[in-house]
Homo-oligomer: A and B are copies of this chain.
Amino acid sequence: MSTAALARELAAVRDFLPCATPTAWLEQAAANLPLLLIDHANCEKKAAGNALSMMYRYVDRPALLQRLSRFAREELRHFEQVHALMLARGIAYAPLTASRYAAGLRALVATREPERLVDSLLVSAVVEARSCERFAGLVDVLPEDVASLYRGLLASEARHFRNYLTLAREVDAGRVAARLPELLATEARLVTEPDCAFRFHSGPVAADVTNGRQERVKVPASS
């Protein structure tokens, strides 16, 4: 993708999102690189798992199945890339608790079909958009090896955002228009309000949390 095309994609993502990632979160990301990478690896697995679970639920929608399967393959490829970077940096893959972010958004998904499908696709669109926006912000504050990977992932996330949004509108454009305001308002709170644990999609963590109670992640002495 050309630089101009990528800039347009990124502008569309920023237009869609309710707010920018707080500067405090970007600073915490730079200061917690192992934690960021581990949680990012987890996010890629979860995105693949989420696409796969939709592939079980919606067997009667052929075009959706094919699209979800390709999304899942791309997320797995991204997992391999970020995991390889963790290995190169000697970061041990410690288990982490889940972020409040995905659970906070998924709580807004309807339990009845076809509303559940539309809402699920919309939540995926929102998550992909936020990931894209964070990658763009992180490129400027992270070491070159990580920045280089994130520059490469930007375009995929922007494309996934667009595709999930289109899929949701194809099922029910009216519901998309009706549900987006509440989803985006919740998303804004989740990424701006003080969070209890630093994660790829978290809000900035409060000072007393970063000061000692933050998870420790094993890293080699040199990093």
Q: Write the residues of chain A forming the contact surface with B, with a CB cutoff of 8 angstroms.
A: 45, 48-49, 52, 55-56, 59-60, 62, 65-66, 69-70, 72-73, 76-77, 79-80, 83-84, 87, 92-95
B52 touching A80, Cβ below 8 Å: no
Instruction: Given A60-B93, A93-B59, decide whether A72 and B83 contact each other with a Cβ distance below 8 A.
Output: no
Instruction: List chain B residues, Cβ under 8 A from A48.
Output: 52, 72
Instruction: Given A66-B84, A69-B80, A77-B73, decide whether A45 and B55 contact each other with a Cβ distance below 8 A.
Output: yes
Instruction: Given A48-B72, A73-B73, A76-B69, decide whether A83 and B95 contact each other with a Cβ distance below 8 A.
Output: no
Instruction: List chain B residues, Cβ under 8 A from A52.
Output: 45, 48-49, 52, 76
A76 to B69, CA, bound (A): 6
Copies in the complex: 2
20 extra interface residue pairs, beta carbon distance < 8 Å, beyond A55-B79, A73-B76, A76-B76:
A45-B52, A45-B55, A49-B49, A49-B52, A52-B52, A52-B76, A59-B94, A59-B95, A60-B92, A60-B93, A62-B83, A62-B93, A69-B76, A69-B77, A69-B79, A69-B83, A70-B80, A72-B72, A72-B76, A73-B77
Supply 29 A–B pairs (Cβ within 8 Å), ascending by A. Answer: A45-B52, A45-B56, A48-B52, A48-B72, A49-B49, A49-B52, A52-B52, A52-B76, A55-B79, A59-B93, A59-B94, A59-B95, A60-B92, A62-B83, A62-B87, A62-B93, A65-B83, A65-B93, A66-B83, A66-B84, A69-B76, A69-B79, A69-B83, A70-B76, A72-B72, A72-B76, A73-B76, A73-B77, A76-B76
